[in-house]
C-alpha cells in the first residue's frame, strides 16, 4: 500500500527562532478526507429570468469594477440600466434575509453588482421626495454590506477550491474565525444554485460537508485547553532541534511517548499556515514548517492500527473489483514492513469488519456528527459511510461466512 512521499529540507532550525510564539495563535485541527475528487466550479442561475444565459463553464469570476470598464455604447448602456432597475425592484421587494440566496443563485451578479449599486445612488440623487431618497440610500448601504460579505465568503470558498485536499485543514486553522454559520449558509445557497448542473452540485455539497467536518474536529480538539497547552510545549520542544535530522528524531520520540496527537497536529497546522501565508516569512522558514508539519502527519498516520489504514485505502477505490482484489492482498498473512515509499500491511476479514462496525455504529449513534478527532473524522463523511456499507457487504459476501 503506497503512501505519498513527503518533502525534505536541510534548512537549519535556527531559522525558526524568530517564528511567532505559538501561544499567541488560535488553534486549528487535523482532519483527513479519504477520498478526493476534482473540485467543482461555481455556477448558479440568474436573478432576472429574462437575462439568463445557459453555459457549461460555470466558474464564477470576480467582475472588474464599473469604473475600470470601457464606456458602453448608448444602446448597451440603456439595456444595462434596464437590467439594473429590474434588479433594484427585486431587492426592494424582498426581505434582506432573502438577498443572500438571490445573490448566491445568480451567475451574473458579479458582473452587475457595481452597476446596480451605482444605479441605486443615481436614483437616490434624482429622487422626487426625501423619503424616497432615504429609502434608496438605505437600500444601497444594506445591499453593499451584503455584497461585500458574500465576496469575502466567495474568496474563502475559492481558497478551498484552489488548494489540494491535504491543505484544507491548514486553511481551517488560519480562517476558523471566518468559518461561521452565515458562511456555511452561503455555501448551502450556492449548492442550491447548481441544480442545473447536478455533478457540480454534488461535488460542491461533498466539499461543504468535508469543510464542516474539519471545523467540527477543530472545535472538538481545541476545547481541551490543558491538552493544547501540552501541545504548545511539545511544539516548542520541536523547534529547539538544531537540525532537520534532530527534528525528525524529536517527532519520532513524541510519537513513541504518545504526545504526537491531534492537539499537536492542530498547533503545527496553525504554525504551518501562518508561515505559508505571510509575506514576512523567509521561504526557507516556510520550507521548514512544511517539512515538520507533513512529517508529523505522516508519522501520526503510520501510528494508526493497520485495519484503519487499510480501510482508508480501500475507501479511496470506487470500483468493487479493485476493492475485492485489494482485500485479497490485504488478507494474506505477512509481517508489517515499512519502506520510504510503501507500507505493507495485512489484517483479517473479521478485524476489518470489526473496525467498520465501530465506525458505522458511531456514525449512526451520532446521526452523522463525528465525535472523532483527527484522521478518524474523515471516515464519518456520509459519502464515505455509504461506500463503507458497500465494502462491508463485499467483505462479508466474499471473505466470510457471515450473511449480509
- Using alpha carbons only, what angle is made at residue 32 by residues 171 and 320, rounded to the nearest 5 degrees? 135
Report CA 290 to chain centroid distance, whole Å.
Answer: 18
pLDDT at 140 over 90: yes
Determine which of 271-280, 282-291, 338-347 has the lowest per-residue pLDDT on average. Answer: 338-347
Q: If DSSP codes are grouped into helix, strand and coil, which group holds residue 232?
A: helix
Rounded to an integer, what distance in angstroms lies between the CA atom of residue 160 and that of residue 144? 25
Q: What are the residue ranges spanned by the domains of the chain?
A: 13-41+164-302, 66-158, 306-399
Spell out the residues 6+ positions from residue 130 whose beta carbon is closer than 8 angstroms to its own.
Answer: none
Does this model's pTM top 0.85? My answer is no
Answer whether 255's CB lies under 8 Å from 299's CB.
yes
In this predicted structure, the answer to whether residue 47 has a pLDDT above a threshold of 80 is no
Q: Which pLDDT score, from 0 to 100, does residue 393 have?
A: 93
Question: Is residue 17 very low, low, confident or very high in pLDDT (cuts 50, 70, 90)?
Answer: very low
Q: Can you give the pLDDT at residue 185?
A: 94
pLDDT in tens, 205-254: 888 888 888 888 888 888 888 989 999 999 999 988 888 999 999 999 99
Q: What is the mean pLDDT of residues 138-160?
A: 96
Q: What is the mean pLDDT of residues 26-32?
A: 32
Please, are residues 150 and 193 in contact by the beta-carbon 8 Å criterion?
Answer: no
Q: How many CB atoms lie within 10 A of CB 116?
A: 24
Identify the three-state secondary structure at position 2: strand
Q: Give the pLDDT band of residue 380 (cuts 50, 70, 90).
A: low
Question: What is the model's pLDDT at position 283?
Answer: 80
* pLDDT, position 272: 86
5 compared with 141, residue with greater pLDDT: 141
Give residues with Cβ within 8 angstroms of 174, minimum separation 6: 28, 270, 273, 274, 277
Give pLDDT, residue 339.
61
Bigger pLDDT: 15 or 283? 283
**Which H or E element spans position 343?**
strand 343-344
| Cα atoms in the Cβ-side hemisphere of radius 13 Å centred on 155 | 9
User: Which segments within 49-139 are labelled E, that is strand?
Assistant: none
Q: State the DSSP H helix or E strand holding residue 337, giving kind and residue range, or none if neither.
A: strand 337-338
- Give the whole-angstrom CA distance, residue 106 versus residue 401: 54
pLDDT confidence band for 276 (50 / 70 / 90): confident
Query: Under a CB-based contact definition with an 8 Å cutoff, are residues 161 and 40 in contact?
Result: yes
What is the per-residue pLDDT for 84?
Answer: 95
C-alpha cell at 174: 488560519
Amino acid at each position: 500500500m503506497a503512501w505519498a512521499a513527503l518533502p525534505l529540507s536541510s534548512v537549519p532550525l535556527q531559522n525558526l527562532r524568530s517564528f511567532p510564539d505559538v501561544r499567541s495563535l488560535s488553534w486549528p485541527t487535523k482532519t483527513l478526507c479519504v477520498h478526493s475528487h476534482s473540485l467543482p466550479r461555481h455556477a448558479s442561475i440568474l436573478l432576472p429570468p429574462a437575462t439568463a444565459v445557459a453555459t457549461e463553464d460555470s466558474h464564477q469570476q470576480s467582475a472588474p469594477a464599473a469604473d475600470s470598464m470601457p464606456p458602453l455604447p448608448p444602446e448597451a448602456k440603456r439595456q444595462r440600466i434596464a437590467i439594473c432597475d429590474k434588479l433594484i425592484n427585486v431587492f426592494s421587494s424582498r426581505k434582506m434575509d432573502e438577498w443572500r440566496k438571490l445573490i448566491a443563485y445568480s451567475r451574473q451578479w458579479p458582473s452587475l453588482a457595481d452597476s446596480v449599486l451605482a444605479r441605486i445612488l443615481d436614483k437616490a440623487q434624482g429622487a422626487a421626495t426625501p423619503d424616497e431618497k432615504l429609502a434608496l440610500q438605505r437600500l444601497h448601504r444594506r445591499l453593499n454590506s451584503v455584497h461585500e460579505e458574500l465576496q469575502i465568503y466567495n474568496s474563502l470558498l475559492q481558497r478551498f477550491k484552489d488548494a489540494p485536499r491535504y491543505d484544507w485543514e491548514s486553511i481551517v486553522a488560519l480562517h476558523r474565525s471566518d468559518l461561521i454559520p452565515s458562511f456555511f449558509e452561503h455555501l448551502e445557497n450556492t449548492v442550491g444554485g447548481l441544480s442545473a448542473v447536478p455533478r457540480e452540485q454534488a461535488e460542491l455539497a461533498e466539499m461543504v460537508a468535508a469543510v464542516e467536518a474539519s471545523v467540527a474536529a477543530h472545535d472538538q480538539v481545541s476545547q481541551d485547553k490543558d491538552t493544547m497547552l501540552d501541545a504548545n510545549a511539545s511544539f516548542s520542544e520541536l523547534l529547539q532541534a538544531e537540525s532537520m535530522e534532530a527534528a525528525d528524531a524529536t517527532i519520532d520520540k513524541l510519537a513513541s511517548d504518545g504526545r504526537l496527537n491531534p492537539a499537536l497536529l492542530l498547533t503545527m497546522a496553525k504554525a504551518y499556515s501562518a508561515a505559508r501565508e505571510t509575506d514576512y516569512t523567509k521561504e526557507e522558514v516556510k520550507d521548514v514548517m512544511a517539512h515538520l508539519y507533513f512529517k508529523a502527519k505522516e508519522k501520526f498516520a503510520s501510528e494508526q492500527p493497520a485495519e484503519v489504514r487499510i480501510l482508508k485505502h480501500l475507501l479511496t477505490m470506487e470500483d468493487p473489483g479493485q476493492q475485492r482484489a485489494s482485500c485479497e492482498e490485504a488478507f494474506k498473512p505477512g509481517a508489517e514492513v515499512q519502506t520510504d515509499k510503501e507500507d505493507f500491511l495485512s489484517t483479517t476479514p473479521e478485524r476489518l469488519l470489526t473496525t467498520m462496525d465501530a465506525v458505522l455504529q458511531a456514525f449512526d449513534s451520532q446521526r452523522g456528527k463525528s465525535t472523532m478527532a483527527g484522521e478518524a473524522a474523515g471516515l464519518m463523511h456520509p459519502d464515505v459511510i455509504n461506500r463503507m456499507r458497500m465494502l462491508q457487504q463485499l467483505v462479508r459476501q466474499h471473505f466470510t461466512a457471515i450473511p449480509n
